Amino acid sequence: MSQYLVEGGLPVSGTIKASGNKNAALPCIAAAILTDEPVILRNIPDIEDVQVMLEVYRSFGGSVESIATNEWKLTLGNLKTSKVPADAAKKIRASILFAGPLLARTGKAVLPPPGGDVIGRRRLDTHFLALTELGASVSTRRDFTFTAKKLKGADIFLDETSVTATENAIMAAVLAEGKTTITNAASEPHVQDLCRMLRTMGAVIEGIGSNILAITGVKKLGCCDYEIGADYMEVGSFIGLTAATRGEIIIKGPKPGDLRPARMAFGKLGIVWEHEGNLLKVSKNQAMKVNHDLGGMIPKIDDAPWPGFPPDLTSIIIVTATQVEGTVLVYEKMFESRMFFVDKLIGMGARIVLCDPHRAVISGPAKLAGSELTSPDVRAGMAMVIAAMCAEGSSVIRNVYQIERGYEKLVERLSGLGCKIKRAG
C-alpha cells in the first residue's frame, strides 16, 4: 500500500496553480453521454476519480482522447451497453451520475451501488425521487435499474439539496419532453459548471446559481468545448496548509466568488488573503487568533449547502484551527462520520473535544508531534497531510489512494512549495 513520508516543521512558500474542480469534472464527463458529437473538456484534474469516470465512459463504447495536458476529447456514437461496470462503480460515488444521462439517451440505466468516501450515511433516495418524477421506473432488487419509455418534464421538489441528485435530474431533464422545474436544487459552483456546459451543447436552462432551475427539454444536444473552473476545495486546503505552517503562497486561478463562504470561516480564525484578478495570496503575517462573537462568545463554524461553508472543507478547517490561538466550535451538520478522524489529531497533540459525531471544540495553538496515520477519505486525508506538515518530526500517512482521488500530483506540487514529502510503495 502506498504511503507518504513527511518531515514537518517547515513553512510552505511559492506559487501554485489551482487544479480544475473535481466535483465539476465528474458530472461533465457523465454529461458527455448526452450527445453523439465530440465533447472537449478542459482543465480536467489528473486524479483517480477522473480516470475511473473516463474508464466507465469507455465501457459504453466511447472514445477518450487526450488532446493536451488536462484536456480531453470525448466521443460516443452508439452505446454498447447501458450498464455501469461493477468494479468501477464501487470505487467512486460519482458513478451514480451516469443514471440521468443514460436514461435520457437510451431509456435505461443499470448501476451497481456506488462506492466512495465512508463519511456517514449518504442516501440515494433523492436521485430516485427526481428520476421517477420525470417518468422513470426504478428497481433496487440487486443493481439500481432505471427504465423509461419517454421522459417528460415535471415540477420536482427535491427532499434535500443533494448535489449529485440535482445533477442527475438536470441531465435527465435536458432531453425530456416539455418543461421541468427543480426546486430546492443544489447551486454549488460545480453544479453551475455542469449547467453552463450543457447550455453550450444546446440545453435550455434558466436560474443557474439559484435553488430553482427551469429546464426546457430539447430533442438533441450537440458538441461543445468547455473549460471547468478551479477547485475551490483544493484552494481552501492550500490556504489551510499555508496558515498552519506559517507560510506564504500565491495560488493561480481561483474565482473570488467561489471562496466567499471559506473567507468568512477562515476569517473567524484570523486568517485572510488578498485576491487580485485570478491570483490569490496568503501572506505570512496572519493574526492566527480566534475572533470572538459579540459579547466574547466562542464562534461557531458550521457547514451547509451552497452558499454555506462547504462540508468538504470541514476537515481542513479543523486541523487549521489546532494552530490558532483561542477556541472555536466546528459543527458538521451533514455527515455523521466525517469527524471521526480527529482522534488521530488528538494523538498528535491537538486539543480537541469531540462532543458528538457532528460537533468538535478545538483549542489552540497546539504543538503537534509526527505520527503514523491512515487516510479514511479524501478531505480527512488532506487534513492529515496538513497536520504532518506543521508537526515536529516525521509522519507516515497510509492509504494515500484516498487522498489522490481528489488532489492532483500532490507530492510533486507540495514539494515545489518547499514541503518535505515523499511517496513510497
pLDDT tens for each residue of 250-290: 999 999 999 999 999 999 999 999 999 899 999 998 999 99
Identical fold, 3-19+230-424 and 22-227: yes
Q: pTM, whole model, 2 decimals? A: 0.94
Sheet bearing 212-216, strands edge to edge: 155-157, 179-183, 212-216, 204-206
DSSP string, 43-66: S---SHHHHHHHHHHHHTT-EEEE
Among candidate residues 117, 231, 258, 312, the one labeled active-site is: 117
CA 237 to chain centre: 12
CB 346 within 8 A of CB 353: no
Question: Which DSSP symbol is given to 417?
Answer: T
Model pLDDT for residues 139-154, shown as the tens digit of each residue: 888 888 999 999 999 9
- Give 49's contacts (C-beta < 8 A, 6+ positions apart): 22, 26, 92, 94, 405, 406
Question: What number does CATH give the domain 22-227?
Answer: 3.65.10.10
Q: How far apart are CA 310 and CA 355, in angstroms?
A: 21
pLDDT on residue 119: 39
Q: How far apart are CA 76 and CA 81, in angstroms?
A: 12
Closest to 149 (Cα-Cα) out of 139, 161, 135, 162: 135
What's the CA dihedral at 96, 97, 100, 103 to 10 degrees?
-60
Crossing angle of helices 22-31 and 99-106, rounded to 10°: 10
Q: How far apart are CA 88 and CA 76, in angstroms?
A: 19
pLDDT on residue 305: 94
Nine-digit cell string for 32: 458527455
Peptide bond into 261 cis (omega under 30): no
Q: Is residue 117 annotated as a catalytic residue, yes or no?
A: yes
Q: Where are the domains of the chain?
A: 3-19+230-424, 22-227
Average pLDDT, the chain: 94
Question: Which DSSP symbol is given to 305?
Answer: S
Mean pLDDT of 307-333: 96
pLDDT on residue 118: 41
What CATH class is the domain 3-19+230-424? Answer: alpha beta
- Name the band, by pLDDT with cuts 50, 70 and 90, for residue 92: confident
